């Protein structure tokens, strides 16, 4: 049994030359491409936030309202929790100047962005928020800026398979009341912000920043492979249309659950003593038929790092649907399988 290192190796800490390299996903110690978030126009000015994961944590730059400032966030890799936040000023900044860390709400969002980096690309919702003006408080031209922000985050959440209302509430600390089995109740503040975004006209397009609600375009959708993300919609239509299923297994559903093997105990303990965290190498697939039939033989997916997990599971789903004609195969990938600490 093997393991993946849960801590990224060092990345270059210097500022990216064109400031367009977005958060690099180094989950599992295996470098992958950038998280793929398209934020080349996080707001009308074309503002871009850049980020690097380093040995110590996350480095961010070009936050909205703080040109030239660099933010360093220390991360405890064992739990992937943000600890200390430091701001590094650009040259020729007066010693008594106001600093990003003077804003508690901004510091909290910076920490959330750092902790969410393991969830690429969905962590992009936090990165986008750092490139936009905060909707809180009164400011010059505040209604227009708020409409920009809410429209951008609403669209970003839909693109990442999240509930826009849940995502915006989480990013900006708004209350969500939800009883078991009942629909979530969102704050009046959130509803007012969304209404403003739908009514405020973008001077560049002569249309509202956020179009009038259209269920086909603006309702959240469930991704084919659920990952148990807390901001996923609870009740939603599938993102992909349900096919007409025909064959001997029509009307049956095979529900898969994906977990990860634990790392070797001794290696995991040694890594923890060095401030690192190991995760298991392989994915365990468990299944259950809707009608209680005997379970098929399911494979152990070997040597799959978190970044590869959704693609490998999707391939398995397609393989099983071909193996059992007419059956619907669903899969839920646990947070533990994605390399996140078990809480």
Q: Do residues 216 and 258 both lie within one domain?
A: no
Mean per-residue pLDDT, 236-254: 84
Separation between Cα atoms, residue 95 and residue 329, nearest integer Å = 60
Asked whether residue 27 carries a pLDDT value surpassing 70, the answer given is no
- Residue 184 counted as domain residue: yes
Q: Do residues 269 and 213 both lie within one domain?
A: no
Of 333 and 53, the one with more pLDDT = 333
pLDDT of residue 16: 31
Asked whether residue 49 carries a pLDDT value surpassing 80, the answer given is yes
Q: Do residues 28 and 114 both lie within one domain?
A: yes
Instruction: Examine the fold and report which residue of 170, 200, 222 is the final residue of a domain before the chain moves on.
Output: 222
pLDDT by residue (tens digit) across 193-224?
Answer: 999 999 999 999 999 999 998 887 788 877 76
- Residue 339 counted as domain residue: no
Of 161 and 319, the one with more pLDDT = 319
- Residue 259 counted as domain residue: yes
Instruction: Examine the fold and report which residue of 200, 222, 244 is the final residue of a domain before the chain moves on.
Output: 222
pLDDT by residue (tens digit) across 273-297?
Answer: 877 778 889 999 999 999 888 887 8
Confidence of residue 236 (pLDDT cuts 50, 70, 90): confident
Asked whether residue 57 carries a pLDDT value surpassing 60, the answer given is yes
pLDDT by residue (tens digit) across 147-201?
Answer: 999 999 998 888 778 889 999 999 999 999 988 778 889 999 999 999 999 999 9
- Provide the residue range defining the domain that includes 306: 253-333
Q: Do residues 160 and 281 both lie within one domain?
A: no
pLDDT of residue 159: 79
Asked whether residue 267 carries a pLDDT value surpassing 80, the answer given is yes
Q: Do residues 189 and 307 both lie within one domain?
A: no
- Residue 177 counted as domain residue: yes
Asked whether residue 300 carries a pLDDT value surpassing 70, the answer given is yes
Q: What are phi and psi of 332, to 5 degrees?
A: -120, 120
Q: Do residues 134 and 189 both lie within one domain?
A: yes
- Residue 241 counted as domain residue: no
pLDDT of residue 41: 36
Q: Do residues 199 and 315 both lie within one domain?
A: no
The mean pLDDT of the chain is 79
Confidence of residue 342 (pLDDT cuts 50, 70, 90): low
Q: What is the pTM of this model?
A: 0.57
Mean per-residue pLDDT, 239-264: 88
Q: Do residues 60 and 128 both lie within one domain?
A: yes
- Residue 239 counted as domain residue: no
pLDDT of residue 227: 58
Q: Do residues 119 and 182 both lie within one domain?
A: yes
- How many domains, the chain? 2
Report which listed range, 7-11, 122-126, 244-248, is most confident.
244-248
Asked whether residue 40 carries a pLDDT value surpassing 60, the answer given is no
Instruction: Examine the fold and report which residue of 174, 201, 222 is the final residue of a domain before the chain moves on.
Output: 222
Q: Do residues 164 and 259 both lie within one domain?
A: no
- Residue 238 counted as domain residue: no
Q: Do residues 118 and 189 both lie within one domain?
A: yes
pLDDT of residue 229: 67
Q: Do residues 124 and 26 both lie within one domain?
A: yes
Confidence of residue 241 (pLDDT cuts 50, 70, 90): confident
- Residue 127 counted as domain residue: yes
Asked whether residue 85 carries a pLDDT value surpassing 90, the answer given is yes
């Amino acid at each position: 049994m093997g393991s993946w290192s849960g801590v990224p190796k060092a990345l270059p800490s210097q500022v990216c030359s064109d400031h367009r390299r977005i958060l690099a996903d180094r989950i599992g110690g295996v470098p992958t491409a950038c998280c793929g978030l398209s934020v080349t126009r996080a707001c009308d000015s074309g503002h871009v936030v850049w980020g690097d994961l380093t040995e110590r944590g996350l480095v961010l730059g070009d936050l909205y309202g703080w040109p030239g400032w660099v933010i360093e966030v220390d991360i405890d890799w064992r739990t992937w929790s943000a600890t200390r936040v430091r701001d590094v000023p650009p040259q020729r900044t007066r010693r008594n100047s106001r600093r990003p860390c003077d804003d508690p709400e901004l510091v909290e969002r910076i920490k959330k962005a750092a902790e969410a980096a393991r969830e690429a690309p969905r962590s992009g919702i936090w990165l986008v928020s750092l490139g936009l003006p905060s909707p809180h408080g009164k400011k010059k031209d505040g209604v227009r800026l708020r409409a920009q922000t809410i429209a951008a985050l609403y669209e970003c959440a839909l693109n990442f398979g999240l509930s826009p209302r849940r995502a915006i509430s989480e990013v900006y600390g708004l209350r969500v009341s939800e009883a078991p089995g009942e629909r979530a109740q969102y704050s009046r503040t959130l509803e007012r912000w969304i209404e403003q975004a739908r009514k405020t006209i973008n001077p560049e397009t002569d249309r509202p920043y956020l179009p009038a609600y259209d269920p086909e375009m603006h309702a959240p959708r469930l991704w084919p492979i659920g990952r148990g993300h807390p901001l996923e919609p609870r009740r939603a239509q599938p993102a992909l249309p349900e096919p007409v299923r025909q064959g001997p297994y029509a009307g049956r559903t095979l529900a898969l659950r994906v977990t990860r093997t634990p790392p070797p105990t001794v290696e995991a303990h040694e890594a923890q003593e060095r401030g690192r965290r190991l995760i298991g190498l392989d994915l365990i697939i468990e299944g259950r038929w809707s009608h209680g039939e005997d379970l098929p033989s399911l494979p152990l997916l070997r040597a799959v790092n978190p970044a590869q997990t959704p693609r490998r599971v999707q391939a398995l789903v397609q393989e099983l649907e071909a193996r059992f004609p007419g059956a619907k195969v669903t899969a839920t990938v646990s947070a533990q399988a994605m390399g996140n600490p078990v809480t």
